[in-house]
């Protein structure tokens, strides 16, 4: 590629980025940033004739900007960007961004950097909260001296959809890439006063209405409208329906479609979340797995449709006779004789299903466990009455064509759930997973050709209640909670509470209802587990959130778990975490119900806690949820990482472990978690891990407090490679030796490991164990033996004494004595060929971490373990 080609120039401190002048080239390069494609596909998507696109791609290949997976000229070859191609795109974007200087102080403003038809290049000053942005159709008028005006009054606005998840940040003073925008400036600082902003975010977008005229000039900054503009979708069709599908922007009304929608979703999680939204005031016939809802009894009259499938060759009269006998048998307490073949087919299709003749009350029917004929019968039953509520129907691939046609044309259809795209539903608006954004974002394609992201609205999510300023009495230690200020409860209240504990240990709904008005704590204690959730909703502003510890997760709608976690203190969340882990591992489908329908960018503390639990249990969750764990849970967790986050970090590492995801893609993820960990306060799990990684990879020093926290908080396998160094440093000082003696840690299992054993900490897999440092032996002798003889040592010194005596034995060339923490601890310092034979039960009789090393037959012996004084002696 010629050196004077603008696209070849690298941006940096000594070069100036340059624009791509060819419109065809720029269109093709921008399209290729979204992925490769054949010549014909690329030509069609950028609006060029194939010969013109082919000629430009040939020139781009010659310039080294693109390459293909087949030899040049091969039919069907897919074109993709090279590194030089990516650099050319970045150069073009930076050159256009420099025209937006000076950058505004108002971080809410946006700038049009370039436009090519409906495709826009935008500059922003802060991360975008919504995937939609408003672009003025003409330049805003000057604001003059009115600081409250944005200059947008009376200006028409167009909607644009972002084509990237997040902006790419650049410092225009150095032309360097930045990982994130700078923090908000201190308004009192000189830089803020002088308006010295140099970092801009660049992001691609596309006008929702490609024919909309936009006359604003590139490089001009604009704010947001001071009024509510016309919505992005036709108001009469998409904002006046009877149900709320979702939202797309704070200045747009909720999307309330009047016409039916076909949702094409193969994976369980998006189907489940969509059902949560669509089921309000509707009749649902679907697989309810993942919903906190039990299906109603099945309608008796559905058997009239089922019998036609079960016995298609019988006469109408015979079918009526058999179905009547079947109705009598399933609805009566006495046994009614039915034809054997009909009964066998009924049991095969319906199992132990319960039926009802109160069909007007039916709102939700579960297809799980039913045969294909049963599902078809339920759909035909629903379609048979025009007066039924709006219908949400799961449409399987094996439904007959006549039934599919009836579904599509039915006036009461709200939503059809499909596993794959079906031509029969092409006439309906289409809802699919958003390719850029995690759930709860989906992508709506209208029949009019508009495509925009929609954030699902969960009808179960309600605004949080705010506790009253008056301090609520804390729970009692007798119920497993520490009572902070028992004096606040008068004697009468205490008496009633004692009655609740002693007289109603299993709960009494009637007694609790009587006590609720005057004695809320007593009513809460006496509530049966199944009624605690509705009672909490009434009493939450009168009780301390510590009382949530009595909530039984089996009787809590898991769709509301993030709401409860938002209120609960850390002590209660620790209890919930243990219980939720058991639920996830007993029934992995529980995770579908617990997953909040919130954007990870807007995740609350409660949603972040739920995300932490999902990541912590990743190996036990269904494989179809793994992609969502990496897209939603990871971002939500890092928005408010709980203090104890090591298991979530291990879950992320497991998701990226060999064979599951590209290992190269894990490095930037780890770096992002590490960066977040550095921002956390000392004592936070992620901060401790990040400081360990900094120490190993960059050689940064850990102070005494950090060394102690690393050894006591992180799993042994994470810090074992630096355990010899930690121990040497701590044994050199009297004060830190005191800490070592009083804080028992598995030193034998950490220090006595093979040379070259791989580190188990995420991000440090390439770092290996150096082996036991011979200096440790002399330091242990100096610090421990004198103390033991003078004043004795506490039991907590046992791990250090075991390590010292294990090193005594190898230095003296003898068999080790039984250890204190494990009878076989001393053998970890001996060559494995000298180990005695022992059973698994003997190996497990003692410290668990030493037992693991023994079962792995992992010896810490190496030739350098013996101190030089012992060798010379």
635 part of a folded domain:
yes
| Overall average pLDDT of the 474-502 stretch | 59
Split at pLDDT 50, 70, 90, the class of 15 is: low
547 part of a folded domain:
yes
Split at pLDDT 50, 70, 90, the class of 500 is: confident
Q: Which of 148-157, 332-341, 435-444, 543-552 has the lowest mean pLDDT?
A: 148-157
Can you give the pLDDT at residue 263?
A: 96
- Give the SS3 label for residue 592: helix
Q: DSSP secondary structure string, 693-738?
A: HHHHHH-----HHHHHHHHHHS-HHHHGGGHHHHHHHHHTSHHHHH
Can you give the pLDDT at residue 125?
A: 93
Is the pLDDT at 643 greater than 60? The verdict is yes
Q: Are residues 789 and 664 in the same domain?
A: no
Split at pLDDT 50, 70, 90, the class of 299 is: very high
Give the Å distances, CA to CA, from 279 to 363, 413, 757: 9, 12, 54
Q: Are residues 631 and 745 in the same domain?
A: no
Is the pLDDT at 477 greater than 60? The verdict is no
Classify burial at 188, counting beta carbons within 10 Å of its beta carbon; exposed 0-12, middle 13-18, buried 19 or more: exposed
Q: Are residues 54 and 158 in the same domain?
A: no
Split at pLDDT 50, 70, 90, the class of 489 is: low
- CA separation for the pair 370, 347 (Å, rounded): 10
Name the residue with higher pLDDT: 345 or 180: 345
Domain boundary among 230, 260, 275: 230
Can you give the pLDDT at residue 579?
A: 92
Is the pLDDT at 8 greater than 60? The verdict is no
Split at pLDDT 50, 70, 90, the class of 871 is: very low
- Per-residue pLDDT of 683-730, as tens digits, reads 999 999 999 999 998 888 888 888 888 988 999 999 999 999 999 999
287 part of a folded domain:
no
| Overall average pLDDT of the 220-231 stretch | 89
Can you give the pLDDT at residue 728?
A: 92
Q: Are residues 59 and 111 in the same domain?
A: no
Work out the percent of the chain whose per-residue pLDDT is above 70.
89
Among 351, 406, 408, 340, CA closest to 374:
351
Is the pLDDT at 799 greater than 70? The verdict is yes
Name the DSSP class of 864.
G
| Overall average pLDDT of the 801-827 stretch | 95
**CATH number, domain with residue 45:** 1.10.10.10
Q: What are phi and psi of 272, to 5 degrees?
A: -65, -45
| H-type alpha helices, 148-297 | 190-194, 235-238, 268-278
116 part of a folded domain:
yes
828 part of a folded domain:
yes
Can you give the pLDDT at residue 417?
A: 96
Contact 622, 585 (CB under 8 A): no
Counting the structural domains of the chain, the total is 4
Domain boundary among 43, 67, 89: 89
- Per-residue pLDDT of 585-616, as tens digits, reads 998 888 999 999 889 988 999 999 999 999 99
Can you give the pLDDT at residue 770?
A: 95
Is the pLDDT at 14 greater than 80? The verdict is no
Q: Are residues 107 and 39 in the same domain?
A: no
| Overall average pLDDT of the 381-400 stretch | 92
Can you give the pLDDT at residue 153?
A: 58
Percentages (nearest 5) of helix, strand, coil residues in the chain: 45, 10, 45
Q: Are residues 113 and 132 in the same domain?
A: yes
Domain boundary among 196, 230, 264: 230
Split at pLDDT 50, 70, 90, the class of 69 is: confident
Name the DSSP class of 744.
-
Give the Å distances, CA to CA, from 284 to 361, 390, 416: 12, 9, 10
| Overall average pLDDT of the 761-770 stretch | 92
Q: Mean pLDDT, the chain, as a whole number?
A: 86
Work out the percent of the chain whose per-residue pLDDT is above 90.
54
- Structural domain range at position 775: 740-759+768-872
Is the pLDDT at 867 greater than 70? The verdict is no
Can you give the pLDDT at residue 228?
A: 87
Q: Are residues 26 and 111 in the same domain?
A: no
Q: Are residues 864 and 750 in the same domain?
A: yes
Q: Are residues 103 and 84 in the same domain?
A: no
Q: What are phi and psi of 657, to 5 degrees?
A: -70, 170
- CA separation for the pair 138, 132 (Å, rounded): 18
784 part of a folded domain:
yes
- CA separation for the pair 399, 403 (Å, rounded): 7
Q: Are residues 145 and 44 in the same domain?
A: no
Q: Are residues 501 and 624 in the same domain?
A: yes
335 part of a folded domain:
no
Q: Are residues 52 and 116 in the same domain?
A: no
151 part of a folded domain:
yes
């Amino acid at each position: 590629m010629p050196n004077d080609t603008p696209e070849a120039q690298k941006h940096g401190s000594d070069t100036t980025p340059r624009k791509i002048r060819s419109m065809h080239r720029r269109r093709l390069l921008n399209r290729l940033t979204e992925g490769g494609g054949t010549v014909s596909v690329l030509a069609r998507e950028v609006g060029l004739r194939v010969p013109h696109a082919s000629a430009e791609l040939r020139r781009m290949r010659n310039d080294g900007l693109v390459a293909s997976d087949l030899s040049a000229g091969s039919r069907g070859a897919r074109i993709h960007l090279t590194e030089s191609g990516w650099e050319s795109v970045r150069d073009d974007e930076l050159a256009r961004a420099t025209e937006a200087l000076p950058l505004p102080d108002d971080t809410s403003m946006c700038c049009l950097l370039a436009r090519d038809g409906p495709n826009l290049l935008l500059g922003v000053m802060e991360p975008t909260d919504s995937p939609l942005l408003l672009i003025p159709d003409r330049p805003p008028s000057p604001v003059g001296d009115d600081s409250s005006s944005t200059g947008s009054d009376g200006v028409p606005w167009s909607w644009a959809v972002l084509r990237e998840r997040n902006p790419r940040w650049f410092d225009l003073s150095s032309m360097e890439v930045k990982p994130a925008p700078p923090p908000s400036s201190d308004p009192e600082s000189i830089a803020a006063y002088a308006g010295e902003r140099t970092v801009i975010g660049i992001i691609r977008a596309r006008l929702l209405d490609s024919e909309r005229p936009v006359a604003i000039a590139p490089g001009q900054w604009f704010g947001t409208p001071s009024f509510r503009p016309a919505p992005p979708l036709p108001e009469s069709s998409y904002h006046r329906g009877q149900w709320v599908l979702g939202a797309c922007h704070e200045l747009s009304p909720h999307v309330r479609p009047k016409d039916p929608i076909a949702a094409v979703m193969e994976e369980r999680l998006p189907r489940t979340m969509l059902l949560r939204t669509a089921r309000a005031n509707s009749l649902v016939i679907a697989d309810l797995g993942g919903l906190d809802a039990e299906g109603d009894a099945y309608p008796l009259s559905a058997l009239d449709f089922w019998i036609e499938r079960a016995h298609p060759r019988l006469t109408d009269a015979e079918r009526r006779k058999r179905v009547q006998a079947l109705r009598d048998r399933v609805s009566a307490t006495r046994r009614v004789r039915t034809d054997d073949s009909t009964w066998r087919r009924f049991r095969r299709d319906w199992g132990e299903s319960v039926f009802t003749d109160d069909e007007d009350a039916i709102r939700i029917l579960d297809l799980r466990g039913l045969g294909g004929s049963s599902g078809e019968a339920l759909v035909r039953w629903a379609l048979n009455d025009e007066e039924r509520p709006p219908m949400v129907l799961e449409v399987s691939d094996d439904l007959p064509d006549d039934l599919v046609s009836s579904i599509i044309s039915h006036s009461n259809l709200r939503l059809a759930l499909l596993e794959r795209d079906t031509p029969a539903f092409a006439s309906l608006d289409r809802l699919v997973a958003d390719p850029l954004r995690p759930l709860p974002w989906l992508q709506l394609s209208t029949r009019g050709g508009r495509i925009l992201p929609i954030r699902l609205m969960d009808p179960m999510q309600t605004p949080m209640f705010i506790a009253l300023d008056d301090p609520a009495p804390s729970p009692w230690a007798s119920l497993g909670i520490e009572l902070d200020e028992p004096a606040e409860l008068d004697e009468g209240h205490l008496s009633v509470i004692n009655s609740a504990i002693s007289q109603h240990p299993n709960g009494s709904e009637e007694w609790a209802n009587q006590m609720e008005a005057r004695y809320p704590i007593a009513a809460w204690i006496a509530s049966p587990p199944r009624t605690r959730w509705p009672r909490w909703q009434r009493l939450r502003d009168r009780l301390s959130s510590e009382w949530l510890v009595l909530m039984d997760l089996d009787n809590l709608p898991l769709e509301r778990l993030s709401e409860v976690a938002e209120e609960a203190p850390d002590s209660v969340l620790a209890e919930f975490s243990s219980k939720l882990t058991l639920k996830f591992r007993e029934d992995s489908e529980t995770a579908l119900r617990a997953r909040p329908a919130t954007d990870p960018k807007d995740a609350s503390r409660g949603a972040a806690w739920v995300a932490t639990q999902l990541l912590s249990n990743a190996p036990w969750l269904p494989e179809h949820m793994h992609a969502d764990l990496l897209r939603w849970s990871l971002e939500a967790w890092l928005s408010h990482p709980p203090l104890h986050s090591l298991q979530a970090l291990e879950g992320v590492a497991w998701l990226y472990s060999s064979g599951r995801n590209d290992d190269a893609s894990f490095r930037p993820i780890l770096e992002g978690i590490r960066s977040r960990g550095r921002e956390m306060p000392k004592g936070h799990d992620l901060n401790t891990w990040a400081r360990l990684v900094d120490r190993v990879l960059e050689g940064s020093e850990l102070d005494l407090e950090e060394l102690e926290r690393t050894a006591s908080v992180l799993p042994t396998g994470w810090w074992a490679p630096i355990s010899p160094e930690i121990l040497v440093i701590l044994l050199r000082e009297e004060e830190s030796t005191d800490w070592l003696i009083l804080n028992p840690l598995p030193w034998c299992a950490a220090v006595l490991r093979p040379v070259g054993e791989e580190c188990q900490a995420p991000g440090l897999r390439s770092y290996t164990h150096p082996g036991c440092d011979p200096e440790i032996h002399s330091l242990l002798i100096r610090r421990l033996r004198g103390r033991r003889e003078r004043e004795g040592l506490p039991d907590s010194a046992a791990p250090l004494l075991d390590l010292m005596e294990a090193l005594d034995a190898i230095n003296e060339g003898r068999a080790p004595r039984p250890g204190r923490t494990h009878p076989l601890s001393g053998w970890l310092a001996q060559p494995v060929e000298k180990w005695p034979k022992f059973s698994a039960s003997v190996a497990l009789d003692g410290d668990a971490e030493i037992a693991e090393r023994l079962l792995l037959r992992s010896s810490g012996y190496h030739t350098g373990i013996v101190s030089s004084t012992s060798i010379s002696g």
